[in-house]
Amino acid sequence: MLSTMTSAYIALWTLLVLSGHAALSQERIIVYPQPESEQDQRTIYPVKLLNLALHKTSVPFRLQPSEERMPQGRALLMLKQDQIVHVVWSMTSTEREAQLLPIRIPIYKGLIGWRLLLIKAQDQDKFRHIQAVKDLQQLKVGQGHDWPDTAILRHNGFQVTGVANYESLFDMLQKGRIDFFPRSIVEIWAEAEAHQHQRLVVAPRLALQYPTAFYFFVNKQNRQLAQLIEEGLNQALKDGSFNQLFDEYHQSFLQRAELSARQVFALDNPILPQNTPLQRQELWYKR
């Protein structure tokens, strides 16, 4: 947990960091990565939550996407180098927390580790007959080459094909170069809809689960912005607005997932940082 500071102190220093010696009343621009494609809806909820958190503080601001589209790896590199973007959201890992400054409040309440399987529509019968994790381990899995999920799945014995381009994973699945594409509950329904022309569907019966968190990250030197975001998120948790926004965007996904009717394969996460706040029960989704 970041050390506690007063709201006034945080606001003052954040303004100084973001704008140098500009006037304190001036609106500050906070840049986040533009989505990777027009079909990519993964930015919507994080931006809404970030906007909510910053509105809980006294700092005038304006959120703005980067001018160029950014794959996650490039966005994280730019953040590490303190270029282009001021904040990025991503799954945590020991490596990422060594390079960047995390705000350790899981924005998806851990749902990012609840994975359903995106498959070809004609493969549904094949996946209905899978009974054990070893059956899935015989199939080819697709993931981003630098995603933490890739390391997690490989550690658990899966055959993972890692690629650089997010959209190419859907093409690879359609063409049979991979057998399934594990996606979180909060992502998969929108992705299936966006790629329905490729006849991609959510596999029946099955789910993967591993403990993990999706955080907002800032540059290591930008502790004031981190303090500000953390303060705003904690205020939103306290007044209920965090949970209200979370439910607005994710309750329907949970209902569609019907986790109680699925066979869930629990996986280990060898890259989960020790400082993950698992003891804060209010931060996590409980089935």
Residue 5 has pLDDT above 50, yes or no: no
pLDDT tens across 71-129, in order? 889 999 999 999 999 999 999 999 999 999 999 999 999 999 999 999 999 999 999 99
pLDDT of 19? 45
For 24-62, letters b (16+ CB in 10 Å) and e give eeeebebbbbbbbeeebebeebbbebbebbbebbebebe
Residue 214 has pLDDT above 80, yes or no: yes
Domains 7-110+213-251 and 111-209 equal at CATH topology level: yes
* Distance, CA of 123 to CA of 173 (rounded, Å): 11
pLDDT of 7? 54
Which CATH superfamily hosts domain 111-209?
Answer: Periplasmic binding protein-like II (3.40.190.10)
Q: How far is CA 140 from CA 2, 117, 134, 180, 203, in A?
A: 40, 12, 12, 7, 15
pLDDT tens across 243-258, in order? 999 999 999 999 999 9
Residue 236: pLDDT band by 50, 70, 90 thresholds?
Answer: very high
Q: What DSSP letter does each residue of 66-92 carry, written as one string?
A: EEEE--HHHHHHHHHTT-S-S-EEEE-
pLDDT of 43? 84
CATH number listed for the domain at residues 7-110+213-251: 3.40.190.10
pLDDT tens across 152-175, in order? 999 999 999 999 888 999 999 999
Residue 4 has pLDDT above 50, yes or no: no
Where are the chain's structural domains? 7-110+213-251, 111-209
